[in-house]
Structure 1
């Protein structure tokens, strides 16, 4: 199997769980590492040329010239790496990851890209090795891939790094608490004996709260008549159907007006240029309430914080966290959600 930009590999994914698992919960044990808060990236280096593939296999190469230069200079030979692009900010000794600065790196103007490469330079944190020289490592256990990654990155300087790992579950639980202060997003647990599974949720992720990436499918105008009152959100089913799962609101007056302009290019219009009419399904709670909304092309992704699901919807209005320009809309599926295991009410009442 060839791993190249022409034949890209889908990154292995993680399923959210509520707590750091015991190492003996998986045959062969677990390796724990920090969950980095950046852009997932697959690095393709053939010894001369570098391409940076996103989680959805779009090429991010042009946005990070400082990294492509570093890969060419520092990597000792052809390889394919899995890792995260992050932007550190702050004074030495008190740096933390800056998601906003990283998001701004995706810009259409080459002059702006070059300026940001100088003013907010990124770094790459590797956490898996998918091939080296002529050897494809997808079928190798993670323990072997990680050992080879350590050898490859042993002496490489900034901005190329390899993530720290441990098999000590108590240390991993400390990381979950302590590393948040540095802007990290939680802890990931990986089965030591497992092969790399492209596109599969084989890893386990433990975050500081429940979050999900959702597609913006439309918006409702604020009750004042000015600006966006709420964003309507969707998730894809396994067979590719986009379902409405709830909404995000609680924006400031200024932000409501800004969102109108930001979302204007995505508004669905008919051949006469008029906004397409759309309504959400009525429920027994709707009454005479206006359920109309402005439909949008389902291409923009945002991350939201939520407490729990009820059926196929968020139980309560969710909290907007941030835009996710690195995510493809079709990757926003229900299988990313942390769903409680079914439990018999009679057992609770005993």
Structure 2
């Protein structure tokens, strides 16, 4: 490949808490019309997976395990590594092991697309464990346990790969990320029957699978080039209150949840399971700072402590009841509003 490009005059990230925004591509230098390098972008809006009930069929689709963590892009330049969240925030310091591993990759410039996760004893991604390792929602501590599962390569050795088909990007990524159990690992692709793979993933307690069209270019947004199929439904809902309990962990009997319907919130039920003691105590502390006398939405319950609709909870559930409530719901953890939380929207 060609030599890596010169360092751009502007730093990758501004020294500020504000997220990085995508910018239009800079034109080539007219004085050097044959310059082979593409400028390295500050940020690329991620390609997102569209939720489907069943896996697609046919030879045009490749499959991966669905990881449950934080979507990040790892930007590698000579003597410089940045880890940028889905929302454009610099979390390099919060994932030190991933950053250190990225510095050892034998490449001048690259952008890796992947998921930062913490694994449980069975090798499954555990979102709650990841949150705890980062100090909880809004916490600022570094996670020494987090690893990166890389599944795409968007920029390589001075070249923009977003216009290349997925199969070509994966070929380069597989050469770049060697197999092993280090802080940066390759998210393995599987050429298999989607239904059989989904059944196997669910049997092993995984969240689900991702299907990707092998000939697709990298297009930002949720356009259907990538699909996700879950074993158990999992979505983000806003917490609007809780039912106190003297017996439950953290004193929380259940959380009251709401989703968007149009521009307003509507009550979609409660969740009373899935709380770990440490999480429940911290959650109760946060909820008590948000108490309000005014119910954010209409709820036909007594003894409820209402809170401002600020905290976003990730909830697993089996189905919806006929009256629009969550069935068999279980609490997974809190989401970072600016990065991963997309509050569930009900159909009209």
Match of 2:295 among 262, 278, 281: 278
Q: 1:107 aligns with which of 128, 135, 160?
A: 135
1:61-110: CA deviation from partner (whole Å, max 9, x where unpaired): 222211111111125221111111222343xxx644444332222128xx
1:211 counterpart = 2:234:
yes
Q: Counterparts of 1:1-350 in structure 2 under 5 Å? A: 4-5=12-13, 6-7=20-21, 8-23=43-58, 29-90=60-121, 95-107=123-135, 113=141, 117=144, 121-154=145-178, 158-169=182-193, 172-180=194-202, 184-202=206-224, 203-221=226-244, 227-236=251-260, 241-251=263-273, 258=281, 259-265=283-289, 267-268=290-291, 275-278=292-295, 280-281=297-298, 286=300, 290=302, 293-308=305-320, 314-317=324-327, 319-326=329-336, 328=338, 331-334=341-344
Root mean square deviation of aligned Cα: 3.7
Report the Cα offset of residue 178 of structure 1. Answer: 3.0
Q: 1:9 to 1:314 in 2, by over 3 A?
A: farther
Shift of 1:319: 1.0
Q: TM-score, normalised by structure 2?
A: 0.72
CA-to-partner distance for each residue in 1:110-133, whole Å, 9 max, x for gaps?
Answer: xx946x52xxx3321111111113
Q: Is the 8 A contact 2:165 2:216 kept in 1?
A: yes
Matched residue SS, 1:74 = coil
Structure 2 CA distance, aligned partners of 1:151 and 1:329? 30
Cα gap change, 1:276 to 1:9, in 2 (>3 Å): farther
Separation in 1, partners of 2:246, 2:324: 22
Asked whether the 8 Å contact 1:302–1:322 carries over to 2, the reply is yes
Structure 2 unmatched runs, 5+? 1-9, 14-19, 22-42
Bigger fraction of residues in helix: 1
Query: Aligned partners of 1:253, 1:84: CA distance in 2, in Å?
Result: 24
TM-score, structure 1 normalization: 0.72
Structure-2 separation of matches of 1:214 and 1:205: 19
Q: Which runs of 4+ in 1 moved over 4 A?
A: 2-5, 154-157, 180-183, 220-224, 251-257, 289-293
Measure the CA separation in 2 of the matches of 1:76 and 1:167: 28
